[in-house]
């Protein structure tokens, strides 16, 4: 019976490669042959061939993705090192009252250069006030406290926000608090001996990857690492820099690495104004520093942006705030909004006054008296006054979490003509195959799927490829797949057709490879979870949005129709991590 089931999965599910149809890939990437590091011998082979055996693997990031990947790689007998800039595991779910250092105004470019001593290893002690920086700000700059607030609850049900082997308490609600998720992720880390207080040579917390480049002999990878330690004696921090070499590297720095600050005339000047009651704070700031409602008591608040951060923070402060305005872009009509956008509009508290986009902020005569006397002009000409604070709930952009010196070297290009870091720019990671492997050099791999749900398949696949029990196609075929509609369309909001397609793609590929080369078989997502999730989505997101059929419709649609627009309509959502 079991055998029959797998055979039907293997043979009934095929995956189209051909591009075309209504949804052409948005950006087709073709590296000129001269700039490619294509090995001629390899091109004639069917499968990608690694130059040497992979033993040592680095994992960057200890969130839900990195922890699962590290646990998987350990199980597959790789020698693993896990690095995270934060003082403990959890990723986005490591709650802290500390807030990130101030976001740049105007929006900074996605590339961040960091100072690295010339000779390594090296160490340095910091005292309070060195180079005008407090120790506190150095510490927060290093680990970048997360964007979650005290009362935050998930907008995903437990059944799709759960790591294996660490079940939530049986009486948990289906919408889980950030603190419960944090405890859950830490429990997962502990089960795998990866928590900060576990004695282990695997993990290194408070350790930021500053640079990733090819190893000195052109093989493998070299990481430049910086660890920051709070010393026993007060008022000192110790920084240590060193290098470690690896055969392969897995990268999971999270999707929301940098805040997005919109370009609005006059915002720059307003962003410099300090809060009149507390000079350590500003009157304009990004939603990622929001923690608690107390300071909003009796105030008039302008929230810019009506996504999840905007609506949920407005709900949190509504009981104490005097007035909440929410500024949004102009949308053609309600029906063209994504169900998540409609949900956010609906979740704003009743007392919210929705207002159009902001045209500009009138110049202030002084930076010392707060923003309350300032005038905010909306695109319809209305002037908004008497605002105490402005929360930019304008979302995030992907940025380069470390200096990735790889493209130029890998492609053999000397100069920095081609942007060396742009793997991370845009909604989807660039030059990365659907398996998460970096096409020019698949000893580098990324987390490119929703870690809670499809992560188990992707990280298992990466372990199998690196240990040799699964194959990647040759480089030409990797690029062909990358440029096909499979890569561009087979990602979408979890529970929609395209995201189901990627899971099926994994199940088929992994089980074919295991049957041929050894290793365990994997199961598709359990049917009982589909039902719970579909029920949740209809109650909490939008009625009629999800049905159990989203998970099965591929069985009834011939694969030559999979690129058609109606398959993707419901999932148009730029966020591949959902």
Ligand X SMILES: NC(=O)c1ccc[n+]([C@@H]2O[C@H](COP(=O)([O-])OP(=O)(O)OC[C@H]3O[C@@H](n4cnc5c(N)ncnc54)[C@H](OP(=O)(O)O)[C@@H]3O)[C@@H](O)[C@H]2O)c1
Which residues here bind ligand FAD, judged by CB under 6 A? 60-66, 83-86, 91-93, 147-148, 154-156, 161, 208-209, 252-256, 401-402, 447, 451-452
Beta carbon of residue 168, minimum distance to ligand FAD (angstroms, whole number): 14
Choose between 283 and 563: whose C-beta lies nearer to ligand X: 283
C-beta separation of 406 from 420 below 8 A: yes
Name the packing angle between helices 497-517 and 2-12 (round to 10°).
120
What phi and psi, each to the nearest 5 degrees, are found at residue 436? 95, -5
CB of 540 to ligand FAD, least distance (A): 11
Residue 213 as a binder of ligand X (CB under 6 A): the answer is no
Distance CA 141, CA 203 (A): 21
Q: How far is the CB of 156 from ligand X (least distance, A)?
A: 7
Instruction: Establish if 293 lies at the interface with ligand X (CB under 6 A).
Output: no
First to last CA, the chain: 34
Angle formed at CA 261 by CA 131 and CA 109, multiple of 5 degrees: 60
Q: Is the peptide bond before 121 cis (omega within 30 degrees of 0)?
A: yes
Which of ligand FAD, ligand X, none has residue 394 at its interface (CB below 5 to 8 Å by kind)?
ligand X
**Strand-by-strand arrangement of the 207-214 sheet:** 122-127, 236-246, 221-230, 207-214, 403-405
Query: Is 312 near ligand X (CB under 6 A)?
Result: yes
Closest CA to 401 of 163, 91, 39: 91
161 near ligand X (CB under 6 A)? no
Q: In this chain, which of 21, 25, 215, 262 binds ligand X, going by CB under 6 A?
A: 262
Please say which residue, 451 or 524, places its beta carbon nearer to ligand FAD: 451
Nearer Cβ to ligand X (229/343) = 343
306 touches ligand X (CB under 6 A): yes
- At residue 128, φ and ψ (nearest 5 deg) are -60, 130
575 binds, among ligand X, ligand FAD, none (CB under 5 to 8 A by kind): ligand X
Q: What is the pattern of x (binds ligand X, CB under 6 A) and - over residues 321-360?
A: ------xxx---------------------------x---
Closest CB to ligand X: residue number:
307
Distance CA 365, CA 177 (A): 43
Residue whose CB is less far from ligand X, 207 or 308: 308
Cα separation of 457 and 448, whole Å? 11
Our CB check for ligand FAD shows the closer of 91 and 266 to be: 91
For the chain, counts of helices (H) and of strands (E): 15, 22
The nearest distance, CB 332 to ligand X, in angstroms, is 11
Contacts of 100 (CB under 8 A, 6+ apart): 140, 144, 145, 147, 259, 288, 289
Q: Which residues contact 557 (CB under 8 A, 6 or more apart)?
A: 567
* Stretch of residues binding ligand X (CB under 6 A), selected from 60-68, 150-158, 165-173, 440-448: 150-158
Smallest distance from the beta carbon of 570 to ligand X, in angstroms?
Answer: 17
Smallest separation (angstroms) from ligand FAD to the CB of 451:
5
Q: How far is the CB of 330 from ligand X (least distance, A)?
A: 9
427 binds, among ligand FAD, ligand X, none (CB under 5 to 8 A by kind): none
Shortest Å, Cβ 125 to ligand FAD: 22
- Partner from ligand X, ligand FAD, none binding residue 262, C-beta < 5-8 Å depending on class: ligand X
Pick between residue 62 and residue 183 the one whose CB is nearest to ligand FAD. 62
Identify the residue whose tokens are 């130059």.
Answer: 51
CB of 223 to ligand FAD, least distance (A): 9
Pairing of strands 221-230, 236-246: antiparallel
Residue 208 Cβ, how far from ligand FAD at the closest point, in Å? 4
Closer Cβ to ligand FAD, 70 or 364, answer by number? 70
Least separation, in Å, of the C-beta of 451 and ligand X?
A: 13
Query: Between the CA of residue 525 and those of 64, 356, 490, 512, 577, what are the distances in Å?
Result: 18, 42, 17, 17, 17
Q: What is the spatial distance between Cα 351 and Cα 551, in angstroms, rounded to a whole number?
A: 39
Separation between Cα atoms, residue 484 and residue 491, nearest integer Å: 13
Cβ closest to ligand FAD, residue 148 vs residue 470? 148
How far is Cα 259 from Cα 242, in angstroms, rounded to an integer? 29
61 binds, among ligand FAD, ligand X, none (CB under 5 to 8 A by kind): ligand FAD
Q: Give the nearest distance from C-beta 155 to ligand X in angstroms.
A: 4
- Residue 532 CB contacts under 8 Å (≥ 6 apart), including other chains: 157, 159, 174
Stretch that binds ligand X, among 44-52, 197-205, 246-254, 387-395 (CB under 6 A): 387-395
Backbone angles phi, psi at 63, to 5 degrees: -90, -170
Q: Which of residues 391-450 bind ligand X (CB under 6 A)?
A: 393-396
CA dist., res. 346 & res. 352, Å (int): 11
Length of the chain: 578
Q: Which does 225 bind (CB under 5 to 8 A by kind): ligand FAD, ligand X, none?
A: none
301 token code pair? 């608040």
Q: Which is nearer to ligand X, 396 or 533 (CB)?
A: 396
508 near 500, Cβ under 8 Å? no
- Phi, psi dihedrals of residue 120, rounded to the nearest 5°: -125, 145
What are the structure tokens assigned to 262, written together?
């919109």
How far, in Å, CA of 20 to CA of 124, rounded? 56
Q: Which one of ligand X, ligand FAD, none interacts with residue 64, CB within 5 to 8 A by kind? A: ligand FAD
Choice between 364 and 502, CB closer to ligand FAD: 502
Q: Which residues bind ligand X (CB under 6 A)?
A: 152, 154-155, 262, 287, 304-310, 312, 327-329, 357, 393-396, 575, 578
């Amino acid at each position: 019976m079991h055998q029959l089931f797998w055979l039907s999965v293997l043979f009934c599910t095929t995956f189209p490669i051909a591009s075309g149809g209504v949804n052409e890939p948005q950006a087709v990437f073709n590296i000129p042959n001269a700039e490619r590091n294509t090995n001629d011998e390899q091109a004639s082979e069917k499968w990608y061939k690694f130059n040497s055996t992979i033993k040592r693997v680095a994992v960057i990031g200890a969130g839900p993705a990195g922890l699962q990947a590290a646990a998987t790689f350990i199980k597959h007998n790789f020698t693993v090192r896990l690095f995270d800039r934060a003082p403990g595991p959890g990723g986005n779910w490591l709650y802290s009252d500390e807030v990130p250092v101030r976001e740049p105004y105007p929006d900074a470019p996605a590339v961040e250069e960091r100072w690295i001593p010339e000779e390594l290893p090296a160490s340095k002690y910091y005292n309070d006030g060195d180079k005008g920086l407090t120790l506190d700000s150095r510490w927060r700059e290093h680990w970048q406290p997360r964007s979650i607030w005290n009362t935050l609850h998930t907008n995903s049900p437990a059944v799709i926000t759960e790591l294996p082997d660490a079940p939530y308490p049986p009486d948990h609600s289906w919408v889980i608090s950030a603190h419960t998720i944090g405890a859950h992720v830490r429990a997962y880390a502990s089960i795998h001996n990866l928590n900060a207080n576990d004695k282990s040579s695997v993990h290194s917390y408070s350790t930021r990857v500053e640079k990733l480049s090819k190893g000195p002999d052109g093989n493998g990878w070299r990481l430049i690492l910086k660890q920051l330690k709070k010393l026993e004696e007060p008022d000192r921090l110790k920084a240590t820099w060193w290098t470690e070499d690896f055969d392969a590297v897995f990268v999971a720095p999270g999707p929301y690495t940098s805040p997005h600050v919109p370009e609005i005339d006059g915002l720059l000047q307003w962003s410099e104004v300090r809060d009149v009651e507390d000079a350590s704070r500003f009157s304009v700031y990004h939603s990622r520093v929001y923690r608690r409602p107390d300071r909003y008591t009796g105030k008039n608040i302008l929230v810019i942006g009506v996504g999840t951060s905007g609506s949920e923070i407005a709900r949190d402060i509504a009981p104490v705030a005097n007035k909440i305005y929410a500024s949004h872009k102009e949308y053609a009509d309600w029906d063209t909004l994504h169900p998540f956008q409609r949900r956010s509009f609906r979740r704003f508290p009743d007392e919210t006054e929705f207002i159009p986009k902001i045209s500009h902020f009138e110049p202030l005569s002084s930076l010392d008296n707060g923003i309350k006397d300032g005038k905010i002009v909306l695109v319809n000409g209305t002037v908004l006054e008497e605002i105490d604070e402005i929360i930019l709930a304008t979302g995030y952009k992907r940025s380069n979490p470390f200096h990735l010196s790889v493209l130029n070297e890998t492609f053999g290009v000397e100069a920095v003509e081609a942007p060396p870091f742009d793997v991370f720019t845009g909604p989807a990671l660039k030059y990365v195959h659907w398996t998460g492997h970096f096409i020019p050099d698949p000893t580098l791999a990324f987390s490119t799927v929703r870690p809670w749900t499809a992560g188990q398949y992707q990280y298992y696949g990466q372990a199998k490829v690196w240990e040799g029990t699964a194959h990647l196609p040759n480089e030409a075929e990797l690029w062909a797949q990358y440029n096909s509609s499979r890569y561009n369309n087979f990602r979408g909001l979890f529970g929609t057709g395209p995201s189901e397609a990627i899971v099926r793609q994994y199940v088929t590929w992994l089980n074919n490879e295991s049957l041929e080369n050894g290793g365990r078989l994997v199961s598709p997502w359990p049917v009982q979870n589909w039902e719970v999730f579909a029920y949740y989505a209809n109650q909490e997101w939008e009625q009629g949005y999800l049905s159990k059929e989203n998970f099965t419709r591929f069985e009834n649609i011939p694969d030559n129709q999979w690129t058609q627009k109606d398959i993707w309509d419901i999932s148009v959502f730029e966020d591949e991590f959902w």
